[in-house]
Amino acid sequence: MQKNASLVVVLGTGGTIAGTALSSSDDSVYTAAQLSIAQLLATVPGLAGVPIEAEQVAQVDSKDMSHAIWQVLAQRVAHHLARAEVAGIAITHGTDTLEETAYFLQRVLAPTKPVVLTGAMRPATSAQADGPRNLLDAVAVARHAGDAGLSGVLAVLHGTVHGARQVRKAHPARLDAFDSGEDGPLATVDNGVLRRLPAHAAVPASGHLPPLTAALHCAVADWPRVEIVVSHAGASGALVRALCTDGVDGLVVAATGNGTLHHEIEAALLTAQAQGVAVRRSARSGDGRVVLQPGAQGLPGADDLSPVKARIELMLALMPAGAR
C-alpha cells in the first residue's frame, strides 16, 4: 500500500441499507435492495470530500445471496485491494447473511488491508435510518483501521467493529442486532474515531489462516455442495441419507452440547463419512466451541465456527485447488 493511500472503494450489494418503503414512518414493511450505491453515498453528507470510488457489484436481498455473487464480489475486492492508492474497501450488504459473506471473503482473500462490511436494520427511506451512519463509520474504518492495528475483513454496525470470524446477527430487529459472541467486538467507532477494545489489544482481527483462493477461479457450478443438518430431539438420519443420495459433498451438523448427536443422525453421518462425504460437527448453542477428546475417533469438530461459517470453511477446503 502507498504510504498515504487514502482512496476507499465502496461496493454495493443491496440489502435493507438500500431498501425503500412507501412511507418514512415504515421501518418494517419495505423492499430491500432498491437504491444504487451512488444514491446511498449521496445520503451521507459526512463523506463529502472523502476520496471514494463506488461500484455496484450486486443488488439483492441478502437472504438470496448466492455463490455466484460471492465469486464476483471476491474478484472485485481482490482487484481493488491490489491498487496501491486504495486504503481499504467498504461493502454495503444485507444484514441477513452479512456474517457469511464476511467469513467467505476473509478465508478466500485473507486481506492485509481492511475490507469492511456494513448494512442497516432500517430502510434508506426511514425517518430514522441507521444506514447513513453505518456507511460513514464503515468508510472511516476502511481508511483508518490500520492506525488501530486492525486489518482483514471486518463488520461495522451500530458503532461497533467486529471480526469476520466472530460476527453474527444475534437479533432479527434491534438496531444493535450484531454481536461477536463471547469473544466480544474488536473496537468501537464514533464520529470517525476508532477505539480498540482492550480485550482484543493483542489479537489480530484477521487471524493467521492462509487464504483458500480457489473460489476466485473455480466455476461456481463446480463448487463442492455442502449442506447443514441439525441434531435435535427426535432426529432421524433420513435427511442425511437423502442428501447423500442427492450427491452432497460435505455435511455440517449443528450439534447439541459439546458436539453431541442424536444416535440416529450420528449413525447416518458416520455412514456418510465412510462413503466419502466430509462431515464436520459445529455447536448449535451459539457460543463456545466443539472440543473433542484428544484422539477421539469419529466426526471432526468445527472448533468455534457457527454452522453457517463451518459450511463455508468445509466448502472452501473441499474446492479443487487448481480448478477453473
What residue ranges bind ligand SIN (CB under 6 A)?
A: 14-16, 32, 61-63, 94-96, 119, 121
In terms of Cα–Cα distance, which of 193, 44, 175, 79 is closest to 119? 175
| CB-nearer residue toward ligand SIN: 131 or 301 | 131
Q: How far is the CB of 132 from ligand SIN (least distance, A)?
A: 15
CB 255 → ligand SIN: shortest distance, Å? 27
Q: Which residue has the cell 432479527?
A: 172
15: closest CA among 70, 96, 74?
Answer: 96
CA atoms 167, 170, 175, 179: torsion sign: negative
Residues 6+ apart with CB under 8 A from 1: 84, 86, 87, 112, 113
Q: For residue 136, what is the enclosing H or E element? A: helix 131-144
User: Which of 28, 112 has the CB closer to ligand SIN?
Assistant: 28
Sort strands 250-255 and 226-230 into parallel, antiparallel or unpaired.
Answer: parallel
Compare residues 52 and 121 and give the one whose CB is closer to ligand SIN.
121
CA distances (Å), origin 277, targets 37, 225, 226, 306: 41, 10, 9, 20
Q: How far is the CB of 96 from ligand SIN (least distance, A)?
A: 3
Could you tell me the smallest distance in angstroms from the CB atom of residue 54 to ligand SIN?
19
CA-nearest of 200, 95, 224, 119 to 152 is 200
Is 97 a residue of the active site?
no
The catalytic residue among 16, 92, 101, 160 is: 16
Contacts of 29 (CB under 8 A, 6+ apart): 21, 22
Closest distance between ligand SIN and the C-beta of residue 114, in Å? 21
Which residues, at least 6 apart from 249, have a Cβ–Cβ distance to it below 8 Å?
224, 225, 226, 277, 278, 318
C-alpha cell at 255: 450439534
Kindly state the helix (H) or strand (E) to which residue 189 belongs, with its residue range: strand 187-190
Cβ closer to ligand SIN: 16 or 151?
16
β-strand partners of 88: 8
Residues 6 or more apart whose Cβ sits within 8 Å of residue 39? 18, 124
Shorter beta-carbon distance to ligand SIN: residue 153 or 278: 153
Shortest Å, Cβ 16 to ligand SIN: 3
In this complex, which beta carbon is closest to ligand SIN, that of residue 100 or of residue 313? 100
Active site (catalytic) residues:
16
